[in-house]
Amino acid sequence: NTIKLWNLRTNQEIATLTGHSDYVNSVAFSPDGNTLASGSDDKTIKLWNLRKNQEIATLTGHSHFVFSVAFSPDGNTLASSSVDYTIKLWRVPQ
């Protein structure tokens, strides 16, 4: 339920993002690198502002575990897939 971001050059942890209530299965960076999406067994997708290391939004709608998230090339749309046999498209808040 925790995401840790690391600086690979220094091998130091730079941020810990907490908010999910169950396992995190997938993460994706937006094309501009400013937003991280995470999908979890808690059936939610969370969007994180990486400049502030804060949660931006929680997206709900899946009825089972979210196991994959991916941004569109322009970063305006997020796709999520779930064990509920659905793929959902979300408009990314600006």
Q: Is residue 46 part of a domain?
A: yes
pTM of the model: 0.94
Q: pLDDT tens-digit profile of 21-70?
A: 999 999 999 999 999 999 999 999 999 999 999 999 999 999 999 999 99
Q: Is residue 6 part of a domain?
A: no
In angstroms, the CA 11 to CA 31 distance is 23
In angstroms, the CA 58 to CA 44 distance is 7
How many domains, in total, are found in the chain?
Answer: 1
The pLDDT-based confidence of 1 (bands split at 50, 70, 90) is very high
Q: Which domain holds residue 30?
A: 20-91
Residue 94 has pLDDT above 90, yes or no: no
For residue 62, give the CATH number of its domain.
2.40.10
